[in-house]
């Protein structure tokens, strides 16, 4: 019986050091719980000279990832990105070695190829840390909720955006100030586009929706909007109306069709998701029969990510012990929906903010354009002069079709009495 499992880690960056540290510190606890001892056997990186503030013997460090693959029982890919990380994973799988990875971008963009390689070689590939950091959401979705039809997933899955939006909401900072602060604190990259333009959240949405609905979607069908357009006055108006604004991944099954989208979203201030602040992540999963459930924790960072990587390592170790490889396959095709709904065919409620001239007849004109497309209003705020003659007009609609709203927006923006671009934020009723 296999008692010790030799673990090779490729990538000795922040997360690599976190995983190594967790394996060293908690190996005893893991052994008591599982009867199996993870052994930190090799770590590969181009740079093996820089100290990492963690005590590993020099003898386990190597620059040769390919020897690491052939000598280890289990390969952990923590290089990140879609370049050589992919080569390492494919090489490991080809050699029949099980793989654990945290690489969301790679899976979202090349999941099919990687899972096909895993299936061919009958090797495990686990990727818990690729979505929502320390939250074991992939295990929950594939195992804990395996008996459910998934009706809806709403996820706050990018700590950078949630930090920025929380600061805008609580302290009414403007976007640029909040972003600068996030950079200073190390929560945002120098080039923050991947985060604030919603792409990172979309990577995670691609993975979760594929697991929920049995087809590997990739990035193509996902409608993605980031948070650059949100102003702090939008928080003020939302809050008055009982909402807050979050960057959400919205994954939904409606009349057997599935929609996947990422965009800033108004949600009720009373909801559990609204209370998720700072760099924390949370994923709400509504299933049948389970109803509404929610999972919350740190979505990134060395330690939270390490927790998920090590959980995967233990799953693979158990599979090695029992010969139960692919007990829960990396991805199982089995389509559980009818069609994908394009963004223009969704229907939801909308928050619209317009800067309009403060003149008689303006509201009537706007209401008429909306009514002409069957869009009815549930509330309206007009207050606070922005400049000499402009005022903000905020409108909340009842459920309306996206294409009707978009066509109304285009017409509204042509009006002389409407200044600047209109701000549109979709609403999710929880």
Active site residue 385: no
Sequence-separated (6 or more) residues with CB below 8 Å from residue 27? 37, 38, 39
304 binds its own copies (CB under 8 A): yes
33 binds its own copies (CB under 8 A): yes
242 binds its own copies (CB under 8 A): no
Catalytic site residue from 86, 104, 204, 252: 204
Beta-ladder partners of 354: 393
124 binds its own copies (CB under 8 A): no
Q: Which of residues 178-237 bind its own copies (CB under 8 A)?
A: 214
User: Measured in whole angstroms, how far is the alpha carbon of residue 90 from the centre of its chain?
Assistant: 24
Q: From the list 48, 71, 84, 148, which residue makes contact with its own copies (rule: CB under 8 A)?
A: 148
Place of tokens 């909306």: 370
Q: From the list 146, 347, 371, 410, which residue makes contact with its own copies (rule: CB under 8 A)?
A: 146
Distance between first and last Cα of the chain: 49
The answer to whether 327 touches 319, Cβ cutoff 8 Å, is yes
430 binds its own copies (CB under 8 A): no
Instruction: Give the number of other CB atoms < 10 A from CB of residue 197.
Output: 17
313 binds its own copies (CB under 8 A): yes
Residue 373, classified by CB atoms within 10 Å of its CB into exposed (0-12), middle (13-18) or buried (19+), is middle
338 binds its own copies (CB under 8 A): no
Nearest CA to 17 among 86, 100, 78, 88?
78
Q: Least Å distance between CB 334 and its own copies?
A: 3
Nearest CA to 15 among 64, 74, 77, 89?
77
The answer to whether 244 touches 192, Cβ cutoff 8 Å, is no
The answer to whether 91 touches 70, Cβ cutoff 8 Å, is no
Q: From the list 9, 15, 22, 164, which residue makes contact with its own copies (rule: CB under 8 A)?
A: 22
147 binds its own copies (CB under 8 A): yes
Q: Least Å distance between CB 311 and its own copies?
A: 5
Q: From the list 51, 57, 289, 360, which residue makes contact with its own copies (rule: CB under 8 A)?
A: 289
Place of tokens 């998920």: 308
Give the interface with its own copies as residue ranges (CB under 8 A): 18, 21-23, 25-26, 29-35, 128, 134-136, 139-140, 142-149, 214, 272, 275-276, 287-298, 302-304, 306-308, 310-311, 313-315, 318, 322-324, 327-328, 332, 334-336
Q: Which residues are catalytic?
A: 204
């Amino acid at each position: 019986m296999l008692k010790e499992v030799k673990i090779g880690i490729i990538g000795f960056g922040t997360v690599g050091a976190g995983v190594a540290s967790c394996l060293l510190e908690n190996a005893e606890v893991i052994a008591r719980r599982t009867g199996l001892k993870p052994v930190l056997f090799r770590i590969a990186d181009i740079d093996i000279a820089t100290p990492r503030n963690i005590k590993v013997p020099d003898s386990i460090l190597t620059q040769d990832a390919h020897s690491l693959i052939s000598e280890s029982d289990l390969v952990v890919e923590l290089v990140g990105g879609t370049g050589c990380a992919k080569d390492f994973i494919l090489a490991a799988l080809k050699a029949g070695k099980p793989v654990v990875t945290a690489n969301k971008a790679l899976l979202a963009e090349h999941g099919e190829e990687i899972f096909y390689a895993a299936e061919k070689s009958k090797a495990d590939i686990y990727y818990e840390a690729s979505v929502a950091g320390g939250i074991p959401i992939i295990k929950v979705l594939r195992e804990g909720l395996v008996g459910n039809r998934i009706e809806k997933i709403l996820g706050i899955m990018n700590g950078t955006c949630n930090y920025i939006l929380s600061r805008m909401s609580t302290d009414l900072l403007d976007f640029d100030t909040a972003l600068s602060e996030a950079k200073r604190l190390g929560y945002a990259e120098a080039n923050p586009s991947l985060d604030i333009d919603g792409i990172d959240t979309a990577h995670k949405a691609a993975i979760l929706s594929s697991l929920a609905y049995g087809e590997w979607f990739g990035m193509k069908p996902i409608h993605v909007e980031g948070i650059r357009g949100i102003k702090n006055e939008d928080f003020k108006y939302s809050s008055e109306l009982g909402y807050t604004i979050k960057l959400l991944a919205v994954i939904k099954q409606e009349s057997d069709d599935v929609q996947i989208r990422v965009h800033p979203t108004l949600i009720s201030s009373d909801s559990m998701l609204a209370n998720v602040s700072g760099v924390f992540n949370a994923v709400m999963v509504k299933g049948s029969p389970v109803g509404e459930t929610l999972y919350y924790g740190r979505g990134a960072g060395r330690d939270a990510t390490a927790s998920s990587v090590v959980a995967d390592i233990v799953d693979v170790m158990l599979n090695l012990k029992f010969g139960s490889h692919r007990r829960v396959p990396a991805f199982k095709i089995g389509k559980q929906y009818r069609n994908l709904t394009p963004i223009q065919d969704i229907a939801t409620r909308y928050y619209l903010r317009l800067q309009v001239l403060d003149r008689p007849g303006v509201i009537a004109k706007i209401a008429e354009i909306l009514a002409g497309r069957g869009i009815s209003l549930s509330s309206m705020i007009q207050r606070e002069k922005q400049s000499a003659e402009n005022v903000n007009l905020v409108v909340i609609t009842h459920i309306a079709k996206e294409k009707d709203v978009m066509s109304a927006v285009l017409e509204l923006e042509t009006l002389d009495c409407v200044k600047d671009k209109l701000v549109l934020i979709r609403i999710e009723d929880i």
